[in-house]
Amino acid sequence: MEKLLIELDIPVRYVKGVGPKKACILKKLGINTVCDLLQYYPRAYQDRTSTTPIFRLISGERQTVKGHVIGYKENYFPRKGVRLQKVIISDGLGKASLLFFNQPRISRLLPKGSELFVTGRIRRFRREIQIYDFDFEVVNKRMKIHTNRIVPIYPVTCDLQRVGQRMLRGIMKEALEQYIPVLRDPLPNSILLRYALCDLSFAIQNIHFPLDKPSFKKARDRLAFDELFLLQLGIGLTKKDRRKQKGIAYRIDGNLVPRFLSSLPFSLTRAQMRVIDEIKQDMKSSYPMNRLIHGDVGSGKTIVAICACLISVENGYQVAFMAPTEVLASQHFLALKDLLSKLPVKIGLLISDLKKKEREEILTQIERGEISIVIGTHALIQEGVTFRRLGVCIIDEQHKFGVMQRGALIEKAKGLSGGVPDILVMTATPIPRTLALTIYGDLDVSCLDELPPGRKKVLTFCRQEEDLPKIYEFLKSEIRSGRQAYIVYPAIEGHEELDLKAAEEMVRKLQKGIFKDYKLALLHGRMKTWERDEIMKSFRKKEIDILVSTTVIEVGIDLPNATVMLIEDAHRFGLAQLHQLRGRVGRGDYRSYCILVTKKGISDLVNSKLITEEDTNRKAIKRLQAIVSTADGFQIADRDLQIRGPGELFGVKQHGRLRLSVADIIKDVKLLEHARREAFSILEEDPHLDKNQGLKKTFDYYFVGRLELAAIS
C-alpha cells in the first residue's frame, strides 16, 4: 500500500541492516523513525564522479581512481604495535597503495584482480603513491554510494565523522530501496505540473544520492517548495481562522475622526487617507481586523493609528496602545494627549514605575471603562490588565515581537475583551517582501509609501574622529540658530555598565569643555521612566540643546526641532539601527544632518567608494556606504539582507515540527510566491482540506499545536 512520508512513522529498525546498535547511534542524531531518516538530508556533497589516472594523482588532493588489485605488502611497527597492510592497485598506467591498519584479512576481502573505485587523499612517499583516508567500493552492477558519483555528506557529530558517513550512506541506501517504491506524493499533480516540480520519490532519492547536478537541483527545489508550501498553508489557515471569528462591527460614521483630522495643522498624505480607509473597512466588517501598517520612519503612522482608536472609543470600546519600550510609551502618551486635547477622550499611561496608589487608581479606571485609551508596553496585555470592553489593540514598532508573541497577545486580548479585538500592528522597519510574506503572512498589509510633503532629505556624511572639533562647532552653529541635536554612542551588548560610563563621561567632558555654554543631558536605558520623561519633556521644551544618548532613542522619538544626529563609532551600529537613528531628524521644516563618525581608515574607504573584499571592516564599510547613499527604507532593508545574509537577520528557523532545512527564505522568493499562491488557492476551495487528505495529514503532522514563528532579531 502506498504511504505518505509521514506515515513512515515506524521505528528505524524496520530498515534492513539496522540492529539495536545502529538504531542507538541513529537515535543520537535524532533519527527515530524511517520518516526521520529519509528526511535527514545531507549537509553537503562531494563530487566524486570523475576518476583520475593514477599517474596524474596530485599529493594533498582528494581524488577518485579506478583500478584492480595486483598485490599486497605488510609492514609491522612493533613499538607502536601497528600492522600496516598495503593493497596495491593498478590502472594499467600506474600503481598506488591503499593503506590499511591492522586488517590482516584484507587480502581475503579484496582478492587479487578485484576491481575498485577508491576516493581518498593522495600522498607521495619516496616513489610510492599512497592513498589514505579513503572510501572504496568494488566495481559491480550495484549502485555506488561512496565513490564514482556525487556523494552525500551528512551532518554528524565529531565522534561519528569517519564511520558515520559510511554507515549513514549504507542505511540510507537500504531505506530508499525499501520505501521509495511505496511513497505517495501529498501534493496534487496539478501543482507539480504547473511549476515543473519533480515527484516526491524522485526528490527524496536525489537529495540523498543525486544522479547528477540537474537532478539534485530538481530534488532540492521540490523539497524547498514543500517546506514553503506547508508554511504558507499554516499561515493561510491562521488567517482564515481569524476571519471566521466574529469580531466587532463598528459604526464608522461618527464625528470623532473628522473632528480630529480637522484639528491637525496639516492635511493627510494620500497614503494616510488610503490606509485610514482600509482600516475603516476592516472595522466596519464583522470579522476582526488583523492589519499591518508598514511605513518608513516619519511616514505618519501615529495619526493613522489614532483614527482606529477614535472609532473604537466612539463605539464604546477601549484601546490598548502598546509600544516596545516605556520611553516610547510615554512619548506616545504625551503626543496623544496633545493631539486629542480638544476631544472628549480619556487617555491613561500604565508603566512599571508608577507609585502603587497611582497604578491601582489607573487599573480601576480601566476596569470601569473610564479610561478609553490605555498606553503602555506589551506588558499591558501580558499581565492581564482588566478592561471593561477592549476593542482595539495597537502594537507599535512590532518588528520587535514575533508572530508567536503576537499570537499569544491576541489570545490574551480575546480573554480580556470577551470577543475578538481588532489588531493593528505598525512597523517602521521596512522588510523585504519575501520576509513579509512569512513573518507577517497572516496579516493584511497596508503600506504608507509616502512621506508628508516638505520633508527634506537628511544630508548624511561619513567623517573621521579627527574631524570632531569641526563637527562640534557645526552643532553649536545649529543650536545658535535655534535647533537641537542628538549625539549617540553605541552600546555593546552585555557591557551596559561600561557603555554607560563612556556615555556619562563623555557628557561630563563635553559639558565642561567644548559645550560649556550649552545645555547637555544624558538619556539611557537604565533610567527610570519618569527620569527619561523629565528629560524628554525638557528636550521638547528646548531647555536642553543636545541630548546625549545610547541607542534608546533608536525608535519612534519625534521632535521636529532636532536637526543634527551625530553618531559616534558609527561602524558599530547595524544598518537598520542607523536608518532608525537618522529618522529622528529631518522631521520638521529645517534642513537636517546625519553625521557618522568612525575611524579614519574606515571613513576613507566609505567615502572613496572603494572596497577590498578581504577588509576586516568590510561589512561595516558596506553598511556606512549604504546609509550615506540612500534614504529609502526599503532599499536599505534589501541592502541589509544582502550584507548580513538571512541567517543573521532572521530567526525564522522552526515552525512547529516544520524545519526550513532546504528552503532559503531569501533566495527562494519565486518558490515562496508560488507556494503561497497555491496554498491560498487550495484553502479557498477546500478550507478544511477535506478533499486533500494527504495534505491534511502531512500538515497536521508538522503543525502539531499552533503555528509558531520566531521573531526577527
- By CB under 6 A, name the binding residues for ligand ADP: 266, 268-269, 272, 295, 297-303, 428, 452, 558, 560, 587
Cβ closer to ligand ADP: 15 or 428? 428
Category of 679 on φ-ψ map: left (φ > 0), alpha (ψ -120 to 50) or beta:
alpha
Least Å distance, CB 266 to Mg ion, is: 16
Q: Is 556 in the site for Mg ion (CB under 5 A)?
A: yes
Residue 103 phi, psi (nearest 5):
-130, 75
Least Å distance, CB 642 to ligand ADP, is: 24
From 632, 625, 655, select the one nearest 404 (Cα to Cα): 655
Cβ closer to Mg ion: 369 or 588? 588
Least Å distance, CB 561 to ligand ADP, is: 11
Pick what 586 binds: ligand ADP, Mg ion, none; C-beta below 5 to 8 Å, kind-dependent.
Answer: none
Least Å distance, CB 210 to ligand ADP, is: 49
Please give the Cα distance from 488 to 595 (Å, whole number). 10
Cβ closer to ligand ADP: 267 or 693? 267
Instruction: Give the CA dihedral 476, 478, 482, 487, nearest 10 degrees.
Output: -70
Least Å distance, CB 300 to Mg ion, is: 9
Please give the Cα distance from 372 to 395 (Å, whole number). 16
Instruction: Tell me, rounded to whole angstroms, the distance of Cα 271 from its chain centroid.
Output: 28
Pick what 132 binds: ligand ADP, Mg ion, none; C-beta below 5 to 8 Å, kind-dependent.
Answer: none
Residue 347 phi, psi (nearest 5):
-115, 145
Please give the Cα distance from 555 to 562 (Å, whole number). 15
Site for Mg ion in 598-637 (CB under 5 A): none
| DSSP code at position 657 | T
Strand partners, 183: 3
Mutual orientation of helices 270-284 and 301-314 as an angle, nearest 10°? 30
Instruction: Enter the C-alpha cell of residue 53.
Output: 589516472
Least Å distance, CB 567 to Mg ion, is: 20
Pick what 94 binds: Mg ion, ligand ADP, none; C-beta below 5 to 8 Å, kind-dependent.
Answer: none
| DSSP code at position 205 | H
116 close to 67: Cβ distance less than 8 angstroms: yes
Pick what 656 binds: ligand ADP, Mg ion, none; C-beta below 5 to 8 Å, kind-dependent.
Answer: none
| DSSP code at position 75 | E
Cβ closer to ligand ADP: 212 or 589? 589
Pick what 55 binds: Mg ion, ligand ADP, none; C-beta below 5 to 8 Å, kind-dependent.
Answer: none
Category of 11 on φ-ψ map: left (φ > 0), alpha (ψ -120 to 50) or beta:
beta
Least Å distance, CB 253 to Mg ion, is: 28
From 425, 427, 396, select the one nearest 297 (Cα to Cα): 427
Cβ closer to ligand ADP: 288 or 583? 583
Least Å distance, CB 308 to ligand ADP, is: 13
Please give the Cα distance from 319 to 350 (Å, whole number). 13
Strand partners, 654: 659
The DSSP result for 85-112, as a single string, is EEEEEE-SS-EEEEEEES-TTHHHHS-T
Please give the Cα distance from 601 to 611 (Å, whole number). 11
Site for Mg ion in 40-59 (CB under 5 A): none
Cβ closer to ligand ADP: 248 or 485? 485
Q: Is 324 in the site for Mg ion (CB under 5 A)?
A: no
Cβ closer to ligand ADP: 155 or 452? 452
The DSSP result for 271-298, as a single string, is HHHHHHHHHHHHHHSSSPPEEEEEE-TT
Instruction: Enter the C-alpha cell of residue 596.
Output: 557618522
Least Å distance, CB 407 to ligand ADP, is: 24
Q: Which residue has cell 590502472?
A: 91
Cβ closer to Mg ion: 592 or 603? 592
From 674, 591, 270, 227, select the one nearest 446 (Cα to Cα): 270
Pick what 188 binds: Mg ion, ligand ADP, none; C-beta below 5 to 8 Å, kind-dependent.
Answer: none
Q: With CB under 5 A as the contact rule, which of the stretches 177-185, 443-451, 553-561, 584-592 interacts with Mg ion?
A: 553-561
Q: Which residue has cell 512590532?
A: 398
Amino acid, single-letter form, for residue 4 = L
Please give the Cα distance from 15 to 443 (Å, whole number). 44
Least Å distance, CB 396 to Mg ion, is: 6
| DSSP code at position 79 | T
Cβ closer to Mg ion: 394 or 689? 394
Please give the Cα distance from 403 to 393 (Å, whole number). 15
Cβ closer to ligand ADP: 187 or 428? 428
Least Å distance, CB 557 to Mg ion, is: 9
Least Å distance, CB 326 to Mg ion, is: 15
Cβ closer to Mg ion: 164 or 556? 556
Least Å distance, CB 384 to ligand ADP, is: 28
Instruction: Give the CA dihedral 8, 11, 15, 21, nearest 10 degrees.
Output: 160
Least Å distance, CB 149 to Mg ion, is: 57
Cβ closer to Mg ion: 305 or 471? 305
Question: Which segments of 245-383 does DSSP mark as H helices, in order?
Answer: 256-263, 270-284, 301-314, 326-339, 356-368, 379-382
The count of residues interacting with Mg ion (CB under 5 A) is 1
Pick what 651 binds: Mg ion, ligand ADP, none; C-beta below 5 to 8 Å, kind-dependent.
Answer: none
Exposure of 513 by Cβ count < 10 A (0-12 exposed, 13-18 middle, 19+ buried)? Answer: exposed
Pick what 272 binds: ligand ADP, Mg ion, none; C-beta below 5 to 8 Å, kind-dependent.
Answer: ligand ADP
95 close to 59: Cβ distance less than 8 angstroms: no
Least Å distance, CB 265 to ligand ADP, is: 8
Pick what 297 binds: Mg ion, ligand ADP, none; C-beta below 5 to 8 Å, kind-dependent.
Answer: ligand ADP
Pick what 288 binds: ligand ADP, Mg ion, none; C-beta below 5 to 8 Å, kind-dependent.
Answer: none
Strand partners, 444: 291
What residue is closest to Mg ion based on CB? 556
**Cβ-Cβ contacts under 8 Å for 504 (sequence gap 6 or more):** 522
Please give the Cα distance from 656 to 652 (Å, whole number). 11
Least Å distance, CB 331 to Mg ion, is: 9
Cβ closer to Mg ion: 156 or 303? 303
Please give the Cα distance from 266 to 283 (Å, whole number). 25
What residue is closest to ligand ADP based on CB? 300
Q: What is the binding site for Mg ion (CB under 5 A)?
A: 556
